[in-house]
Amino acid sequence: MQKVKFQDLGLMPYQEAWDYQEAIFKGIVNQKSANRKLPESEQQDTQDHLLFCEHPHVYTLGKSGDLNNLLINQARMDEEHIEFFKTNRGGDITYHGPGQIVGYPILNLDHYFTDIHKYLRYLEEAVILTLAEYGLKGGRSKGETGVWLDEGLPTARKICAMGVKASRWVTMHGFAFNVNSNLKYFGYIVPCGITDKAVTSLNIELGRELDMQEVKEKVKGHFTDLFEIELI
């Protein structure tokens, strides 16, 4: 069973978390490159990681994103204490903030399966199974990543966004699961560039604040089962 190092980084500024991800990611990619030049007996295995954190208010734009989906100017962002970053992940614009579980799996997919679509479905499934524990039916929206409620209906709303980067079958970035999120901040953007669907949060759906640690443990448990790993 693959051992994955888990860290909960707490509330961490986006740039700091991104730099930390990049350092781990580059270390794994470099080790894989070095291994290809070595006999099998001298190759070193790579360490997979799962990082959880929350970010102070921040908007991030994916590499294929449209800046027009940011609906407020810099002065308003300064007033609201919101940062903004253009990133190297897939997807369009999203919001991160307190009350949201951000998960960054940095995995060498050679340990599991070399299929990025399957990988994304596993991330979605971990959240779908967590929602089921709270009596909510999460699902997928055709042609769109992430986890939705009432998918396919006019009331469809997104509760978890996803955007990843992969190189040489190593992943980074990940998912953002709205648990106790302040949805006001989604009103300043066109979330994920999708104009005809709403955004929601677990606390809105259940009508109560959630214990973040409790929700994290449920997500971790389902992630562990799906990838058949042991967290260390």
In a domain, 36, yes or no: yes
Q: List phi, psi (to 5°) of 38.
A: -115, 150
In the numeric block, which tokens belong to residue 227? 């990838």
In a domain, 186, yes or no: yes
pLDDT digits (tens, 9 = 90+) for 117-130: 999 999 999 999 99
In the set 159, 192, 215, 219, the catalytic residue is 192
pLDDT above 80 for 196? no
pLDDT above 90 for 99? yes
pLDDT digits (tens, 9 = 90+) for 141-187: 988 899 999 998 999 999 999 999 999 999 999 999 999 999 999 99
In a domain, 211, yes or no: yes
Identify the three-state secondary structure at position 218.
helix
Write down the pTM of the prediction.
0.96
In a domain, 232, yes or no: no
In a domain, 55, yes or no: yes
Q: List phi, psi (to 5°) of 192.
A: 60, 15
CATH code for the domain of 218: 3.30.930.10
pLDDT digits (tens, 9 = 90+) for 79-89: 999 999 999 99
In a domain, 38, yes or no: yes
Q: Indicate the number of domains in the chain.
A: 1
Q: Which residues pair with 205 in a beta bridge?
A: none
Per-residue pLDDT at 191: 82
Element (H, E) at 165: strand 157-167
Q: Name the average pLDDT for the chain.
A: 95
Residue with tokens 């080790």: 31
Which residue range is the domain that position 74 belongs to? Answer: 2-227
Look up 192 and say whether it is catalytic: yes
